[in-house]
Amino acid sequence: MYFAFTAPAIRPPLELSRLVDPGLTKIAYAVTLIAGVPTFLVIRTRQNDRWWHYVVGGALLGCLPGLVLAIMDLRSGLDVVAVAFGAPYGALSGLAFWVLGIYRASRHAV
């Protein structure tokens, strides 16, 4: 989302490579493994399976990839927009995870 809104105007043919940063994707996967899985395990052990726990956790974790990229490239200054775009994306991801993995599994277990 960040690159779609902040990238310069794209002329035909559409260059999707300008909208996706491979470095950000790698960092997002690392954040998921290093921070997301332990966060999920903490939420499960405390039996806090309410939807808003996953939304808040997702929003906080969604900011981390942009923050890591901003810290790695401090020459250009802290890009608050990149960090801020991660929060709603992470919140939506947390909600989707709750609906598909928690709510659905607990309500429709076979």
Tell me: the pLDDT tens digits for 64-76? 877 777 777 766 6
In the chain, domain spans = 22-107
Tell me: the pLDDT tens digits for 1-46? 555 555 555 554 445 554 556 666 777 788 788 888 998 898 888 8
Here the tokens at position 58 are 């997702």
| pTM: predicted TM-score of the whole model, two decimal places | 0.65
